[in-house]
Amino acid sequence: MDMETITSKRLIMISGKGGVGRTTLAAAIAIAAAKNGKRVLLAEVGDNEGDESPLAHLFGKKNFTEIPAQLDQNLMACRLWAPQGHKLFLQHILPGGAILSAALRSKALQAFLTAAPSFCEMGWFYHLLTLIKEMNSDGQPRHQLIIIDMPATGHTLALTTLPKILIRLIRSGPIVDALSEGQRVIYDPDKSSSWVVTLPEKLPVSEALELLEGLHASNVPIGGIFLNRFPQNPFQPDEFDTINRIFNDHNIYGKLSFQRIIRSQEAEKRLLKEIDVPIIKVDELTRGGFELPAQIAQKFNPITGDV
């Protein structure tokens, strides 16, 4: 699958277990798509105000705000922020001015709402919906493609199952209208896709398969899997077999790295056998930090699949 196809949606969600490379790949895809001329918004799901953001760090910033800011040509970034979503929602349903500011200031209302089921996810969801609907003066979407660096697995599924559960619970009214509108984007395979990032190791692959199942069950269209940090194999097949035999018999330097190559190949084989979704391998690169996403993005461009 090429990057053109991957980025042909309105929304891409990048999920996976902790530490697998979600943030790095979300940034890399955003950089690649922006270079290809798409107006991209890179978003992360924010939890606590003032938290430092690893995603923002990759772009030399401490954190992103709830208002999209320009990072580069064609590339904006923000955090999805529950209070911002709540505010936008109240603005939408309440007649403006005095009532609205009273409502927003009311501690009782805040306490009441915070106890409501999925309150936080609803805020993120509504904030996202507002960003999807933002238009330029020419009537074109302000953000052609929104890429979300999703939070840890539990939160991801809470967010993707939210519309289904709440609509069943509430049935009608403005919240349901907003959820249904969001559903029409996030459950539409032409508009949205969800990618799972995993490392090429046994346990992470098992966890990625579980997450994929959860996403599938929540009706989110699946893009595929990024098999990240795939170790490079510099050996020809005959060399590989010889070295494998030597390492099997002797505990010598390099054995661990060599076995990692074997485990990665096994992880790839397992994925190919057990699921029928695109798998994109991303090399383990030696350069870290700031330069990593741009380096991965460069390998995506022109994109043919593996990087």
Ligand X SMILES: Nc1ncnc2c1ncn2[C@@H]1O[C@H](COP(=O)(O)OP(=O)(O)OP(=O)(O)O)[C@@H](O)[C@H]1O
Q: Minimum distance between the CB of residue 91 and ligand X, rounded to whole angstroms?
A: 31
What character string, x for contact with ligand X (CB under 6 A) and - otherwise, covers 174-213? ----------------------------------------
Question: Distances in Å between the alpha carbon of 36 and those of 30, 84, 177, 272, 285?
Answer: 10, 30, 35, 29, 23
Looking at residues 239 to 298 of the shown chain, list those that interact with ligand X (rule: CB under 6 A).
282, 284-285, 288, 292
* Coil/strand/helix, residue 197: strand
User: What residue ranges in 112-269 does DSSP mark as E strands?
Assistant: 145-149, 192-198, 222-230
Nearer to ligand X, 3 or 129 (CB): 3
Q: 3-state SS of the chain: helix, strand, coil percent to 5?
A: 50, 15, 35
The 40-59 contact track toward ligand X, x by CB under 6 A, reads: --------------x-----
**Minimum gap (Å) between residue 262 Cβ and Mg ion:** 28
Residues 10-29 that bind ligand X (CB under 6 A): 16, 18-24
CB of 54 to Mg ion, least distance (A): 5
Among 3, 16, 20, 23, binds Mg ion (CB under 5 A): 23
Per CB under 6 A, contacts with ligand X among 229-248 are: 229
Q: What is the DSSP secondary-structure string of 71-104?
A: EETTEEEEEE-HHHHHHHHHHHHS-SHHHHHHHH
Decide: is 153 part of the binding site for Mg ion (CB under 5 A).
Answer: no
Q: Is residue 53 involved in binding Mg ion (CB under 5 A)?
A: no
- CB of 285: closest distance to ligand X in angstroms? 4
Which of ligand X, Mg ion, none sits in contact with 19, Cβ below 5 to 8 A by type? ligand X
Count, in order, helices (H) and strands (E) of the chain. 13, 8
Structure tokens belonging to residue 26: 């979300």
> For residues 25 and 40, what is the distance between their CA atoms, to the nearest angstrom?
14
CA pair distance 50, 66, nearest whole angstrom: 12
Q: Whose structure tokens read 């593996």?
A: 306
Binding site for ligand X (CB under 6 A): 16, 18-24, 54, 228-229, 282, 284-285, 288, 292
